[in-house]
Amino acid sequence: MKSILSSAHVHTTFCDGKSTAQEMARTACEMGFVSLGFTSHAPQMFDPAHCIDPSRECDYINEIRRIKQEYKGRMAVYLGIERDMYSCSESTEYDYFIASMHYFKIPDGSYSGVDAPAEIMQKYINEYCDGNGLEMAKRYFTQFRDYVIESKPQIIGHFDLVRYNNAALHLYDEDSLDYKMMALDALRDLVDTNALLEVNTGGVARGYMTEPYPALFLLKEWKNWGGEVIINSDCHDAKLLDAGYVQAEEILLSLGYDHVVRLSRNPEKEMWERVEL
């Protein structure tokens, strides 16, 4: 088993991260990373605490480009963005983008967070899903699938983020056939996009999950369908840059994966490269 030494999904103080971009790059280089991709949450107009302020998007772009030059020859640095389906930012300025779904839009025009505190999620389910957690999950997978197909990202971010509150609230049975089929049906439709499915260790690093996203049954079928995966830390704190990676690699090996994809150490030659497990 080889160390991945890369993450294509990290957050800084430009959005809701705890570390500056410079701190993140310095730590990654000290850890021996060969590549690092910055992906602050793209601007949107309704939850400013968790995204880049629209007035600072140019500052973010310029800072990552500066860091890219500073570390040239030591570590490949990429300018990315995590673009939620309700973001107002374009992806054309970036080397790549991660598609994710963090919100449900509700009839009054406001938004409710998929990974919001438990009481907010329960309120959304009670008021807009007739108290049915499985109906909420169905809406999530349907909307997220449609967004990925339409937007054509390079990476599918934390595909089953809808599990975020399930351990505490028991919103639905993750082992039920109904749940597994709706998740699998949505994921199967994404194979032809050729996007990388992210194995996201952020929930493990922050202590609210025992295994990475997505669930093992989804990773197993993704492999059977010929999909590629990338291990990312979704890091908000530089000291956790590779937290959960060993577990993620062990899980993939147990499912029959023999390699993952990472950001290339040689961006002049290629953007993505395989790493054997």
Kindly report, residue by residue over 105-141, the tens digit of the pLDDT: 999 999 999 999 999 999 999 999 999 999 999 999 9
Is the pTM here over 0.85, yes or no?
yes
Measure the CA–CA gap between 156 and 101, rounded to whole angstroms: 10
Angstrom CA distances, 47 to 16, 33, 98, 146, 251, stand at: 11, 32, 18, 22, 34
- In this prediction, residue 2 carries a pLDDT of 66
Please identify which residue in the block is written with the tokens 């309700």.
Answer: 86
- In this prediction, residue 82 carries a pLDDT of 98
Q: What is the DSSP letter of 185?
A: H
Contact 154, 177 (CB under 8 A): no
Contact 138, 182 (CB under 8 A): yes
Three-state SS string over 167-236 comes to: HHHCCCCCCCHHHHHHHHHHHHCCHHHCCEEEEECHHHHCCCCCCCECCHHHHHHHHHCCCCEEEECCEC
Q: Is the pLDDT of residue 37 over 60?
A: yes
DSSP codes of every residue in 84-128: ETT----STTSSEEEEE--EEE-TTS-EEETTS-HHHHHHHHHHH
Read off the pLDDT of each residue in 27-34 and give the average, rounded to a whole number.
98
Contact 166, 118 (CB under 8 A): no
Measure the CA–CA gap between 29 and 7, rounded to whole angstroms: 12
Please identify which residue in the block is written with the tokens 């509150």.
Answer: 165
- Could you tell me the pLDDT band of residue 86, with boundaries at 50, 70 and 90? very high
Q: Is the pLDDT of residue 166 over 80?
A: yes
Read off the pLDDT of each residue in 77-90 and give the average, rounded to a whole number.
94
Kindly report, residue by residue over 171-230, the tens digit of the pLDDT: 999 999 999 999 999 999 999 999 999 999 999 999 889 999 999 999 999 999 999 999
- In this prediction, residue 1 carries a pLDDT of 53
Q: What's the fold here for domain 6-101+137-276?
A: TIM Barrel (3.20.20)
- Could you tell me the pLDDT band of residue 92, with boundaries at 50, 70 and 90? confident
- In this prediction, residue 117 carries a pLDDT of 93
Across the strands, what pairs with 7?
A: 36
Rg of the chain taking only CA atoms, in angstroms: 18
Return the SS3 of 8: strand
| Count of C-beta atoms within a 10 Å radius of residue 149 | 15
Using DSSP bridges, classify how beta strands 111-113 and 196-200 pair: parallel, antiparallel or unpaired.
unpaired
Read off the pLDDT of each residue in 47-58 and give the average, rounded to a whole number.
95
Return the SS3 of 157: coil
Kindly report, residue by residue over 228-273, the tens digit of the pLDDT: 999 999 999 999 999 999 999 999 999 999 999 999 999 999 999 9
Q: Is the pLDDT of residue 14 over 60?
A: yes
- In this prediction, residue 91 carries a pLDDT of 82
